[in-house]
Amino acid sequence: MAIIEEISQFLQKGRAKQVKTLVNQALEEGVSAKTILDDGLLSGMMIIGEKFKNNEVFVPEVLVAARAMNAGIAILEPHLAEAGNEPLGKAVIGTVKGDLHDIGKNLVTMLLKGAGFEVTDLGVDVEAEVFIDKAEEVGADIICMSALLTTTMPNMQGVIDLLKERGLRDKYIVMVGGAPVNESFSEQIGADYFTEDAASCAEAAKAAVIAKKAG
Ligand code: B1M
C-alpha cells in the first residue's frame, strides 16, 4: 500500500507534519489504525533503530523520527483506544529511572485504555517511590514498567524490592516490558507478567485483573 510506505518514509525523515497528514488520509481511505501503526509507523521506526545501531543515523535524527512517530500515534489514539464507560481496573505506568524512551510506554498506555483501564501515566525517568506512591494514591491494581536500556532494566527490580520492603508486594500485579526485557529476566526479578508488545500487555492485564477480582 503506497500510502503506508510513504508514512514510513516520512517518519524516517522526521517529517511530523507530513506523517500527520498521511495518517489522517489513510484513516479516511479506510486503512485500519492497526495497519497504519504496525506497517507504517512501527516499521519506519524499526528501520531508524537499525540505522542508529549501525551508526548510519544519530540521536538528532532518531529524536525527530520519534517526534513524528508520536504525532502519528496521537492521531491513531482514539481509533486504538475504544474503551467502555466503567473502568475495568486501574494501572499506573512509567519508564523506569534513568530511561527516557517513551514511545513503547505510550503505546502500552493507549492499549490499556482501549482495554478499559483507567491509566495514570507517570512519564519517563520514574523513581521507584513514585511508582508505588502513585499506585497507592490512585488505588491501582497494576504497576506497569517499561525499560529500553540494558542499564536501566535493574531499576525494575528496585521497584519490586521497595514494594516488598513496604509490605505491598502482594497488593499489586507487576507487569514489565520493553525491548531488552524477557521472560527469564521478569521471573528473575519477581515480576508477575512479561509481555512482548503493547497489545499482549493489554490482554494479559485484562485477564489478570479479572482473575484477581474473581478471588
Ligand atoms: Co535509544 N536506544 N538511546 N533513543 N533508541 C535504543 C533502545 C537502542 C537499542 C538503540 C541501538 O543501539 N540499537 C539502544 C539501547 C542499547 C542497550 O541498552 N542495549 C539505545 C541507546 C544506546 C540510547 C542512548 C544511550 C543513546 C545515546 O545517548 N548515546 C540514549 C539513552 C537516553 C536515556 O534513555 N537515558 C538514547 C536516546 C534515544 C532518543 C531520545 C534519541 C530516542 C527516544 C525518544 C523517545 O522515546 N521519545 C531513542 C530511540 C527512539 C531509540 C530506538 C531507535 C527506538 C525505540 C522505540 O521507540 N521503538 C531504539 C532502537 C530499537 O528499539 N530498535 C533505541 C519503538 C517502540 C514502539 O518499541 O519501546 O520497544 P518499544 O516498545 C515495544 C515493546 O518493547 C513493548 O511494546 C512496544 C510494542 O508494542 N513494550 C512493553 C514497551 N514497554 C512495555 C511495557 C510492558 C509491555 C510491553 O509492560 C508493562
Tell the residue nearest (CA) to atom 45 of ligand 1.
101
How many A from CA of 146 to the centre of ligand 1? 10
Evaluate whether 7 touches 36 at the Cβ level (below 8 Å). Answer: yes
Distances (CA, A) of 161 to 70, 78, 154, 169: 32, 36, 11, 8
Taking only the tens of pLDDT, the chain with its 215 residues reads 699 999 999 999 999 999 999 999 999 999 999 899 989 998 898 899 889 888 999 989 988 998 999 899 999 988 876 645 567 899 999 999 999 999 999 889 977 886 789 999 999 999 999 999 999 999 999 999 999 999 999 999 999 999 999 999 999 999 999 999 999 999 999 999 999 988 899 999 999 999 988 87
Evaluate whether 73 touches 20 at the Cβ level (below 8 Å). Answer: no
SS3 of 63, please? helix
Which is it for the CA torsion 142, 122, 37, 177, positive or negative?
negative
- At 83 the pLDDT is 47
Residue 81 gets which letter from DSSP? -
Identity at 83, one-letter amino acid code: A
Residue with cell 521497584: 159
Tell the residue nearest (CA) to atom 27 of ligand 1.
59
**Does 52 contact ligand 1 (Cβ within 6 A)?**
yes
- At 86 the pLDDT is 65
**Does 105 contact ligand 1 (Cβ within 6 A)?**
yes
